Amino acid sequence: MIAGLVGKTHVGKSTFFSSATLAPAKIGKVPFTTIEPNRGVASIRVKCACTELGVKDEPRNSVCVNGTRWVPVELVDVAGLVPDAHKGRGLGNKFLDDLRQADGFIHVIDAAGCTDANGNPCEPGARDPLDDVRFLEYEVTMWMLAILKKDWDKIVKGVTQLKQDPVALLAERLAGLMVTRKHILGVIKSVGELGKRVDQWSEADLKLFVDGVRKASKPMVIAANKIDLPSAEANIARLRDEFKDVPVIPCSAEAELALRLAEKKGVISYMPGDGGFKVIKGDALNDKQKEGLKRIGDLLEKWGSTGVQEAVEAVYIKQLKEIPVFPVEDSNKFTDHQGRVLPDVFLVPEGTTARGLAYRIHTDLGEGFLYAINARSGQKIGEDHALKARDIIKIVSAKGLKG
């Protein structure tokens, strides 16, 4: 799955992206610094099975540090949005199109309220960050609505004249936005006004439907950035009160980037998400750098972390509901065919079945699936068995491949 970094211009999205991935991204103080989307790899923390099993793992697709597995995930940072982006303002349609393949959003906002609606600097506190959240939700909803309405007459004709399944028609039209039949059924079931026939939906019904589909198919985390500014704290409390169903994570992307770069140079010891750091090469720092690290230390003491790692993990784990699963070939030794212990960990959607995991590993495994084995218990499980977080699974296939 892919998480998209979204938000208006000049709120720190590219800094957030760089701090989470250490990938090169152009950072600037003018709107539309980012034109083409930046893609990079961040990581989320998973408790590795090696500790409880008492084995030394040999990771292949991730890294294990003291029993914590750092599992790679993809982030895409697109250019900032401006009001009426869905109408094409500020190259908005292109930027929105870059989000088609995103499964969830990290909405980076200026929690201090020091950038106006168009991303220009203003006095701290002059802009209400709650309006920025509402603005982005509106722009994405209106963009998705326009896509649906392009073929609305065709959908109505299919339902009324050809007696086609309305859910199938809606899913087909919205498939390019990563919208599934499950999303559509869930929205129609939960919103009473949509119980009538699709051809009887009003304009208000259509917007209600699309808004629900947006929430279901593009779940969001709010990264409340710029917590180093005094006006941010009260706004974060207001954001949490207003958007109770959305995780609001206090963030300082600048502090995280400074820590990651200092750690990369060997100046400090720091792991993303930590509540502190240790200076190991103090002599290499000048007075300005020392003062900068002191300010970051004070910020960490107040907020617990920079929030960047927590925001990435929140979108994948809380919102997209991804769970880690360890596939192995030898269920007794927990190894692959080369003898590597717990070589891989896959992130799969909650509810993924044993056969679904088999397909994720290799198409032949899925097609020839016979059964799977829970390596912890030795129990044989069938194709429809729903996997749990941190399961260690062996797949047995009729085609001779093993996971």
Q: Can you give the pLDDT at residue 8?
A: 87
Q: Is the dihedral of CA 301, 303, 306, 311 positive or negative?
A: positive
The pTM of this model reads 0.90
CA distances from 265 to 97, 229, 281 (A): 37, 27, 10
Q: Can you give the pLDDT at residue 59?
A: 94
C-alpha radius of gyration, the chain, whole number: 23
pLDDT tens per residue, range 217-276: 999 999 999 999 999 999 999 999 999 999 999 999 999 999 999 999 999 999 999 999
Structure tokens at 285: 């720092």
Nearest to 101 by CA among 56, 37, 181: 37
Task: Give φ, ψ of 237 to 5 degrees.
Answer: -60, -40
pLDDT tens per residue, range 137-181: 998 999 899 889 998 999 999 998 988 899 999 999 999 888 999
Cα(90)–Cα(301) distance, integer angstroms: 39
Q: Can you give the pLDDT at residue 39?
A: 86
Q: Can you give the pLDDT at residue 38?
A: 80
Q: Can you give the pLDDT at residue 189?
A: 87
Q: Can you give the pLDDT at residue 400?
A: 60
Sites in the chain below the pLDDT cut of 50: 24-35, 91-92, 402-403
Residue with tokens 């600048």: 254
